[in-house]
A and B are shown apart, each in its own frame.
Chain A
């Protein structure tokens, strides 16, 4: 496989403490479930101090395990580059059975 080019854009993601939902760091700063509203970081951003900040008592109080993920622009919207992160954003890649259903399809 060819070497991946260095990441140009990234965002910080985490899971919300109360329910585990996937959230992204905004510029407010705060947290949103909408990737498109996330604060974009580029190569000029010093990631480690930023992550240390959002892991602390203030911004980190209501989330678990913040980390940075790479994103790209696809059809004008931000999309995670890795499948794992796309699944975190989009949800399951198959349909689950509904609670009152007695047949899958």
Chain B
């Protein structure tokens, strides 16, 4: 993992001291709320419906066990003993007191964490494939480049007041688990036939009020040119992005208005001026960062033991967990273990202090002290020896994170919604709870197969509803909660926006509607087809028919 150098550490500590003083001045009345609000947002502190919320950055979703233990401690000391992992690989504490916020930030700084650039019109926390560095299908480890982007974008003076917020995602794998086509910039690694590795650069993707799939403006960018090219994109956007209209201020609107070709031309023109500047990555720089992400000392004799194989045949729940919650590790004796933070009936992405500490313990014992956070609101132990799988599974069961439903209908993404969020129009979490309770039967979840449900409580789309196989958007109709259902969205390498399937339904009809869509799929699917495959083959008419018939 990347470790702060003395410059990083001093800077973060100075920012905490500065914010402590700002909070004191606000509490004494020296600063008005208008003066203070941008200062607290710069430090990740929002005011929500009934409390302040602190959004802590988890760079590219990578956490050490020490950091996770500190997050647990912060939730106990300053919050209500739990945290909420978000769709941007961050964690949010929902009940932080303003007067405690500087102490919470000081505790974060002790473990090399902060809440900077988790708000405001700047480059936000860079996100990445949660299996970075360990996935069997990976070309190269994207964390090295995510970290370079983090360093380049942290307090970049030119990009601290962009037209609007700016999100960058990176994947090093052909199977996109980082949703790169729905980010302001998405970076996807490719390997040429001659072995050279570089990035496909995708711009102008995004969700929210005006969802767009990003467009490729560069098919293959040499790695050494990454930062200069990103700088050229940001400069182009900073200059031409709309500052007059909040709803048209994201880069996706610029790219849509001028077209991908013209965007590429402008970026290339800017790039030609700065390509061979100090931004050009030198081998020594990249190697120094890469050293932080060196491969752990894997034990070649860590392959599965007889007990694991035997249990696969005697314990159906364990067998399902092996099938759905494990992923192929690049080392054959190891596995990527995905922790489901979606037990049926639970708020998606929430973890108690005790659960966080238990995961930190597990990481120390079985995963080289490393944990990942996923944009689908789950956690990952990235390096588990196959011989340890029974022990890890038993402990995960004890702490409620072994539900074998990864990628299944119970593995729902949901934003905090109207229960917490001052922007929301409708609740998200109770809808997720009802759906996961209805589909609690794990055997049924596996029979249904891969199906991603994503729920947002408003058009800002923090719950990524546009790219859910089934997307659910909360709307306010005359003071009542209604939910607009979309079908056919996808955030992977075949990214697509969902299609509205009919009029919005009342809150108490959402589960029924989801069930009808699932039943339609089950009735129409061909051998081996996932929900999304059947949708792509048949289109909306068959599913609309299914909704009508069952009515």
Interface residues, chain A, with chain B CB atoms under 8 Å away: 1, 4, 15, 17-22, 57, 61, 64-65, 81-84, 87-88, 91-94, 96-105
Contacts and interface: CB of A to CB of B under 8 A. Distances in A.
Interface stretch (B44-52, B142-150, B261-269, B310-318): B44-52
A87 B81 CA distance: 21
B433 A99 contact: no
B76 A99 contact: yes
A97 B399 CA distance: 12
Nearest to B51: A20
A91 B50 contact: yes
B354 interface: yes
Contacts of A105: 343, 345-346
B97 A100 contact: no
B50 A99 contact: no
Interface stretch (B279-287, B473-481, B509-517): B473-481
A36 to B, nearest CB: 17
Nearest to A22: B50
B296 interface: no
B33 A65 contact: yes
Contact of B47 (A64, A84, A88, A92): A64
Contacts of B399: 102-103
Given A96-B350, A97-B352, A100-B353, A87 B29 contact: no
**For the complex, would chain B's binding face be called helix, strand, loop or mixed by DSSP majority?**
mixed
Contacts, number: 109
B209 interface: no
A19 B97 contact: yes
Contact of A88 (B29, B49, B355): B49
Given A20-B50, A83-B481, A93-B430, A100 B419 contact: no
Interface of B: 26-27, 29, 33, 47-52, 75-76, 80-82, 97-99, 343, 345-347, 350-355, 358, 398-400, 418-420, 427, 429-430, 433, 477-479, 481
B351 to A, nearest CB: 8
Contacts of A84: 49, 418
Nearest to B81: A99
Nearest to A95: B347
A20 B51 CA distance: 4
Contacts of A99: 75-76, 80-82, 352-354
A83 B427 CA distance: 10
Contact of B343 (A4, A81, A92, A103): A103
Contacts of B479: 4, 81-83
Nearest to B48: A20
A17 B430 contact: no
Contacts of B26: 17
A97 B29 contact: no
Contact of A102 (B400, B427, B433, B481): B400
Contacts of A64: 33, 47
A87 B99 CA distance: 24
Contacts of B49: 22, 84, 87-88
